[in-house]
Amino acid sequence: MVRIVAAPARTLPMSQHAIEDVIERAIYLVDRSTQNAAHQAALIHALLHLQARYDTGLTWLRMHEVLLRHGVLVRTPVEAIDDAALRAQARAAETSCWLESDRGTGYLHLDENASVLYQQTGTGHAMPVSALFRDVLTLADQADDGELFTDLHGLLVNGWLDATFTAEDGLASSLDGLVACDDLQAIRGIAARRGLKRRRGVSEDLALPHLSESQEPGEIEQNAGLRFFLQPKRTPTALLAARNRTLRQLARVQELIPMLVEQRLSAALQQAGWSAVAAPPEHPWCWTRDRDGSRQCLWAAHDTTCGELIVQAGLQHARLLDWQQRSATTQLHDLHIYDRAAPLLGKHALNPKDIGTYGGLRLDPAHSDAQLGNAFDRLAAALPALDVYYFDVIAQQLSGPFFDRDLEMVMRTMEEGHSTGAIAQDVLLASPDSTLLAFVFHHLEHGDDVAAAAVVERVRARHAARTRLNAWHRAYLSPFLQRWDREQRDMPMPPVQHVLLLNHLRACESV
């Protein structure tokens, strides 16, 4: 079977152009080398196979003379094509084009003097990626081509980092596997002698990554692997020792954190009137406290990947509980409002240096038990500030002032926040639909059925415009609108839509 594909001009992202260019430079390097002909052909074949892993143009169209000379590419006159179907398609073509057949991809070049088909030859066997990089980087070193050496080394490291190259290619995911690879050890030896200097302005696929880009404590093997590539002067013994030391530190922290939560955090919270409650495995520590008909909630989880204790605060507000015609529960998916606690405290009561990248309490495995304990003490001392800066603010807003605001302004703020990823804290509810429903029940509470109906129509218009419904829409919003159409005005307000509730509903649907 033969398929003709036109050869339009392609606009490639800069990163893909850069990969295309570095492969071409490497092929010219191999062509200039004194390697024997068979090994040159094998290296060029391997470079083209390497390029095929990326969404780039085919390099051999721009350097066909070199590829023809090494037998990597063959040029066949149309009349000499032995495949009858392929020959017929080539004869019928009116412009130069790609031809795809059972033998692979070929390029048909039409010319007044001679029309020919270019095809890549078979390789017999695939060269491991690690061996390819070893040989080509050795040639770049011998030619003293520092830019090509650095670019190829960057492609190697980034390919390992994003798993383009795997153990099947000779690049294991673990430090032990990398250390055991003779090809990679040879590359490290060259890099140690030459030094690795970062080049400015190169594409992301070729740029040497910074160690700071992968410093999450839970990614120990990846950190160790990056050091293997980027710190070639460090001995394998030193790298393995550092990795093992970090593993021991992390194991110690994983045992220590639960004790510190119970001894330093939970004890302080219970003295302040909080009660520990059962929590799901993903949030192993949870506390609640009832105030003025509302239920406040704090829960925490140790995220070993980012090295932080993620503490979150939430609330089931008395007014919304009344509209929902239910009592407060200890289920996190029943919360009306929640947020991460540490960033809130960092503005008022917690040292900003204690707050990690992901909004949790920073827990460095390299810190001593005493240092980690002190961090928990600082968090426990700061948590009471949530009363003033979080819980009391929300309670006061939902008691009236929030509903005195212009609804158009509230919705515009939410929509702008959803588009930028930064929703203002004074919006309160995480969902535009739940915000609209809260205004509906506020109007019903005050006997303003006309205003409530107007807001319901806004909810209905948003719902009708959706092409896909999520679990909350199916379970709660659609039934609410149906009951509204039947003139029911005494029904409960649907649960507030947020991520925790959606996750709960999806889990229920999958059972």
Output the pLDDT for position 58. 64
> What tokens were used for 433?
């639909």
* Domain match, 330 and 447 both: no
* Domain match, 144 and 29 both: no
* Domain match, 260 and 383 both: yes
DSSP string of 222-286, one letter each residue: HHHHHHHHH-TTS-HHHHHHHHHHHHHHHHHHHHHHHHHIIIIIIHHHHHTT-EEE---TTS-EE
* Domain match, 278 and 309 both: yes
Are the C-beta atoms of 107 and 98 separated by less than 8 Å? yes
> Is 249 a member of any domain?
no
* Domain match, 101 and 182 both: no
User: Of 317, 327, 326, which is closest to residue 296 (Cα–Cα)?
Assistant: 317
pLDDT by residue, tens only, the chain of 511 residues: 444 444 444 444 456 788 999 999 999 999 999 999 999 999 999 999 898 888 666 666 678 889 999 998 888 898 888 888 888 888 888 888 888 877 778 888 888 778 898 888 876 668 999 999 999 999 999 999 999 999 999 999 999 999 999 999 999 999 999 999 999 999 999 999 999 988 888 889 999 998 865 456 668 899 999 999 999 999 999 999 999 998 999 899 999 999 999 999 999 999 999 999 988 788 899 999 999 999 999 999 999 888 899 999 999 999 999 999 999 999 999 999 999 998 888 777 888 889 998 899 999 888 999 999 999 999 999 999 999 999 999 999 999 899 999 999 899 888 776 555 555 566 789 899 999 999 999 999 999 999 999 999 999 999 999 999 999 999 999 999 999 999 999 999 999 999 999 999 999 888 6
* Domain match, 94 and 215 both: no
Are the C-beta atoms of 130 and 179 separated by less than 8 Å? no
- Buried b or exposed e, range 249-276, using 16+ CB within 10 angstroms: bbeebeebbeebbeebbbebbeeeebee
* Residue the block writes with tokens 């033969």: 2
* Domain match, 109 and 137 both: no
Of 356, 390, 424, the last residue of a domain is: 390
Are the C-beta atoms of 496 and 320 separated by less than 8 Å? yes
Could you list the residue range(s) of the whole structural domain that residue 24 is in?
A: 3-120
> Is 250 a member of any domain?
no
> What tokens were used for 196?
């690795």
* Contacts for 367 with CB less than 8 Å, ≥ 6 apart: 375
Output the pLDDT for position 424. 57
- Buried b or exposed e, range 457-495, using 16+ CB within 10 angstroms: ebbeeeeeeeeeeebbbebbbeebeeebeeeeeeeebbb
* Domain match, 263 and 378 both: yes
> Is 247 a member of any domain?
no
Output the pLDDT for position 10. 41
* Domain match, 135 and 105 both: no
pTM for the structure as a whole: 0.72
* Domain match, 275 and 375 both: yes
> What tokens were used for 431?
């969902």
Domains contained in the chain, number: 4
Are the C-beta atoms of 410 and 389 separated by less than 8 Å? no
Output the pLDDT for position 124. 61
Own/partner long-range contacts of 324-327 (Cβ < 8 Å, ≥24 apart): 324/492, 324/493, 324/494, 324/495, 325/492, 325/493, 326/492
> Is 395 a member of any domain?
no
> Is 342 a member of any domain?
yes
